[in-house]
Amino acid sequence: MDELLEEILAECKPFTSQGALASYIPELAKADPNSLGIYLVSSDGRINRAGDYHKPFTIQSIVKPILLLQALMDNGVDYVRSRVGVEATGKPFDAINYTEQALLSDHINPMVNMGAIAICTMISGKSYEEKFDRLLELTRLLAENNEVCLDEDVYLSEKRSGSKNRALAYLLKTYGIIQDDVEEVLDCYFRACSIRVDCADLARIGFTLASHGKSLSTGERIFPAAYASYVNAILMTCGMYDGSGDFAVKVGVPAKSGVGGGIMAVVPTRMGIGIFSPALDEKGNSVAGIRALEILSKKLYLSIF
């Protein structure tokens, strides 16, 4: 399998030159656009990896399914579903014009920025610092890595350059979808997106969702299977931004991308996959990463369809 992964990465390496770094967050523009790595964790315990799988990067929007999972664990499905919708928007992840009418919770989903900002308010905690600490602990638990931490430089860069997310948050407050202090909510969100991970962390998180809530190392249940089904369903329809439909046709597994260049893929009952390649397409998805998943899906018959 390692040999197959090396072959796939060699075939996909030229695609790194077809994308661009997420320069609107200045700190992300410092990444090496030629980086490409992959890490697989299979249900039989096998681990396979190739390329730059060890390079750290920030989780960015791949934190959104973890945010959703934390909100589900704190509140249950009915409450979360009543506050944030589940339908794909068909618009970019940071779009402001979701509707020409009054903004309603059904107009957004947990995988776009507006939905994720709203989800931050549903995490239990006496303060937004405590809410973030609980999210970070859940991320460490899912990744089985206590060294997962905040990248302070990226966090500060996001906070300084996050004008559009501020606009989105104030729009949410205008329509009563959030009630808390906007800057406190955004600080939690910026921190969440700035958690530092690598391909192995993403693969283990993906595996836990693939195993419907069971720990990779112990087999113990971390969260109810119903929550994994809820998260995976939304990843399938909304996880790859407004490229989710094309991704479903070509790859066919639940997945989440981030503008840091990561992709977390979930192959239910079979494996979790972590990919890193920071050169992005116009939708904000890793160009070489998607291509690698397309080839891998065909080779291993991963599509759930």
**Does 36 have pLDDT greater than 90?**
yes
Q: For residue 60, give the nearest of 18, 4, 21, 8 by alpha carbon.
A: 21
**Does 41 have pLDDT greater than 90?**
yes
Place of tokens 């770094």: 21
The whole-number pLDDT of residue 105 equals 83
Domain termination site, one of 148, 165, 193: 193
Q: How many domains does the chain have?
A: 2
Q: How confident is the model at residue 94 (pLDDT cuts 50, 70, 90)?
A: low
- How far is the C-alpha of 132 from the C-alpha of 134, rounded, in Å? 5
Q: How confident is the model at residue 191 (pLDDT cuts 50, 70, 90)?
A: very high
Mean pLDDT of 285-290: 96
Cα dist from 73 to 67, 69, 112, 187, 223, whole Å: 10, 6, 20, 22, 7
Give the tens place of pLDDT for each residue, 99-109. 666 788 888 99
The whole-number pLDDT of residue 89 equals 79
Q: What is the pTM of this model?
A: 0.95
The whole-number pLDDT of residue 101 equals 67
Place of tokens 């006496």: 126
Least confident of 39-48, 71-80, 81-90, 257-266: 81-90
Q: Are residues 102 and 181 in the same domain?
A: yes
Give the tens place of pLDDT for each residue, 204-222. 999 999 999 999 889 999 9
Domain termination site, one of 131, 163, 193: 193
Q: Are 61 and 234 in contact (CB under 8 A)?
A: no
Task: Assign residue 182 the CATH number of its domain.
Answer: 3.40.710.10
**Does 169 have pLDDT greater than 70?**
yes
Q: How confident is the model at residue 93 (pLDDT cuts 50, 70, 90)?
A: confident
Give the tens place of pLDDT for each residue, 117-131. 999 999 999 999 999
The set of residues, in sequence order, having a beta carbon less than 8 Å from that of 152 and lying 6+ positions away, is: 194
The catalytic residues are 61, 64, 189, 241, 259
Domain termination site, one of 146, 171, 193: 193
Percent of the residues in the chain that have a pLDDT greater than 70, as a whole number: 97
The whole-number pLDDT of residue 271 equals 97
**Does 27 have pLDDT greater than 90?**
yes
**Does 97 have pLDDT greater than 70?**
no
Structural domain containing residue 131:
63-193
Residue 305 falls inside a structural domain: no
Q: Are residues 69 and 14 in the same domain?
A: no
Least confident of 32-36, 77-81, 85-89, 212-216: 85-89
Q: Are residues 137 and 120 in the same domain?
A: yes
Q: How confident is the model at residue 88 (pLDDT cuts 50, 70, 90)?
A: confident
Q: How confident is the model at residue 266 (pLDDT cuts 50, 70, 90)?
A: very high
Q: Are residues 99 and 182 in the same domain?
A: yes
The whole-number pLDDT of residue 83 equals 94
Sheet containing 57-58: order of strands: 57-58, 195-197, 149-150
